[in-house]
C-alpha cells in the first residue's frame, strides 16, 4: 500500500483526533482514507450525473416516450378521494 504524506492545520487535526477518540474511525489514517473516498465518490457521481444530463439535452425525451407517465399520474390523482 502506498503512503501519502500531507500537512493539516491544528484545527483539522484536532477534529480528526476527536473522531478517533469517539471511536468513529480507528486511526488518523483511516479518517483520511475515508475522507478521500467520500470526495472520490462525490466526484464520480457528479461526473455520471453530468453525463446523463448532457445526454438528455442532446437527445431529449419526446411526449410519445413519456406522455403515458403524465397520463397515468393524472389518472391516479383523479381517482384519489381527497
Tens of each residue's pLDDT in the chain, 82 residues: 899 999 999 999 999 999 999 999 999 999 999 999 999 999 999 999 999 999 999 999 888 888 889 889 999 999 998 7
Which three cell numbers, joined as nine digits, stand for 21? 477518540
Q: Is residue 69 part of a domain?
A: yes
Domain that holds residue 55: 10-79
Residue 5 lies in a domain: no
User: What's the pLDDT at 27?
Assistant: 98
Establish if 58 belongs to a structural domain.
yes
Question: Could you give phi then psi for residue 53, rounded to 5 degrees?
Answer: -65, -40
Quote the distance between the C-alpha of residue 67 and its chain's center: 30
pLDDT of residue 55: 96
CA distances to 71, 72, 75 from 81, rounded to whole Å, are: 18, 16, 12
pLDDT at position 64: 84
Total domain count for the chain? 1
Torsion sign, CA atoms 58, 46, 41, 7:
positive
Amino acid at each position: 500500500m502506498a503512503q501519502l504524506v500531507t500537512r493539516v492545520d491544528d484545527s483539522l487535526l484536532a477534529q480528526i483526533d476527536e473522531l478517533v477518540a469517539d471511536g468513529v474511525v480507528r486511526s488518523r489514517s483511516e479518517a483520511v482514507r475515508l475522507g478521500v473516498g467520500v470526495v472520490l465518490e462525490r466526484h464520480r457521481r457528479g461526473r455520471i450525473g453530468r453525463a446523463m444530463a448532457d445526454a438528455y439535452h442532446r437527445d431529449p425525451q419526446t411526449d410519445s416516450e413519456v406522455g403515458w407517465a403524465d397520463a397515468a399520474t393524472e389518472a391516479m390523482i383523479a381517482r384519489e378521494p381527497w
